[in-house]
Amino acid sequence: MNRFLLPRLLLLSGFLLCFSLVAAHPLLAPVPPPPAIDPAVYQLGRALFHDPRLSANQQVSCASCHDLSSHGADALPLSVGVDGAQGQIRALTVYNASLNPMQFWDGRVRTLEEQVDGPLHDVLEMASSWPEVLSRLAEDRQLVAAFEAAYAEGMTPQTLRSALADFQRTLVTLNSPFDLWLAGETSAMDAQQQRGYRYFIDYGCVSCHQGANLGGNMVARMGSLHNYMELKGAALNHADLGRYRLTGRDDDRYVFRVPGLRSAALQSYFFHDASASSLEEAIDMMAHYQLGRHLPDEHRRAIAAFLTALVGEHPERQVEQP
């Protein structure tokens, strides 16, 4: 080979490798900035999010199960609702929920407005109703006046839903190391996180965890290559049936919405049933049940490191970067 050509080829190959590592995978995207929300509506939605009067016993608010100071959910395997009732499925984060084209583990509603009715009416969560909520909130003349100023129709179930949904649309996490890295800040992710990103793609994790939220935009069976539900045995419950509860179709048995990974590194428990209690355990389980693979320790640790690089910032979030 020409002695002048070889160095040029090596230089070109090195450039292409560097470019491929800092280029976004076509299925991934940075978190977009939140939409502009009327400040008055934002304040109403934020107040409602923290208001226990939405629940039957006036002790449980949205924030009870969705801690904004951390990862947007609680640190329990299963959340506790009114009068100590325990839920059957783990609370999902509200951070970046606006990026998901479907809500809840089973994806049963499409919008954040529709999502509000789920926990409000669930007997294991808030166990309430709109007539009850309106009756309680109507006694708060300051709140009523604020709704009348913000909405022509005043305080109604629709405007309560709208305010809560618009507040949640502001709960997007920006400036994660991964997004900064994609924008060209090559030092935003360290070498191990960059290796984890490569393994995340090479092993096929990105085939389900995709989009700006790295998940949330599709459904998949829990246990695609190995029967995860065999682990449950007698503990298998109605919530484990996934979308089958909605459709009654056998093809939807054990099918769930794929969770987003943007706040996964801050979680205490993983999966719909909280069956994993550490990030690396969850990665191992996904590799086995979804991919049919066994990960070397270094690969698992690198993927976990990459997931820490997905954690972004938000004014409500008080935890430090993992």
Closest CA to 313 of 211, 188, 162: 188
Asked whether the predicted pLDDT for residue 124 surpasses 70, the reply is yes
Q: Using CA atoms, how far apart are residues 175 and 313, in angstroms rounded to an integer?
A: 6
List % helix, strand, coil for the chain (3-state, nearest 5): 45, 5, 50
**Contact between 41 and 150 (Cβ < 8 Å):** yes
Q: Using CA atoms, how far apart are residues 25 and 198, in angstroms rounded to an integer?
A: 10
Q: Using CA atoms, how far apart are residues 52 and 126, in angstroms rounded to an integer?
A: 9
For every residue of 137-170, which 3-state class applies, written as one string? HCCCHHHHHHHHHHCCCCCCHHHHHHHHHHHHHC
Task: Please compute the mean of the pLDDT values over residues 310-315 and round it to a whole number.
Answer: 97
Residues classed as catalytic: 125
Element (H, E) at 15: helix 5-22
Contact residues for 47 (Cβ-Cβ < 8 A; gap 6+): 143
Task: Please compute the mean of the pLDDT values over residues 190-206 and round it to a whole number.
Answer: 97
Q: Global pTM? A: 0.91
Asked whether the predicted pLDDT for residue 22 surpasses 70, the reply is no
Task: Please compute the mean of the pLDDT values over residues 80-88 and round it to a whole number.
Answer: 96
| pLDDT score at 279 | 98
| pLDDT score at 233 | 79
Burial class of 305 by CB neighbour count within 10 A (0 to 12, 13 to 18, 19+): buried
**Contact between 289 and 272 (Cβ < 8 Å):** no
30-59: pLDDT as tens digits: 999 999 999 999 999 999 999 999 999 999
Q: Using CA atoms, how far apart are residues 313 and 322, in angstroms rounded to an integer?
A: 12
Task: Please compute the mean of the pLDDT values over residues 142-164 and round it to a whole number.
Answer: 98
Asked whether the predicted pLDDT for residue 147 surpasses 60, the reply is yes
Q: pLDDT higher for 53 or 234?
A: 53
278-295: pLDDT as tens digits: 999 999 999 999 999 999
Start-to-end CA distance of the chain, whole Å, equals 49
**pLDDT-derived band at 126, boundaries 50, 70, 90:** very high
Task: Please compute the mean of the pLDDT values over residues 72-100 and round it to a whole number.
Answer: 97
Asked whether the predicted pLDDT for residue 6 surpasses 50, the reply is no
| pLDDT score at 230 | 82
**pLDDT-derived band at 23, boundaries 50, 70, 90:** low
Task: Please compute the mean of the pLDDT values over residues 66-73 and round it to a whole number.
Answer: 97
Asked whether the predicted pLDDT for residue 3 surpasses 50, the reply is no
Element (H, E) at 255: strand 255-257
Task: Please compute the mean of the pLDDT values over residues 112-140 and round it to a whole number.
Answer: 98
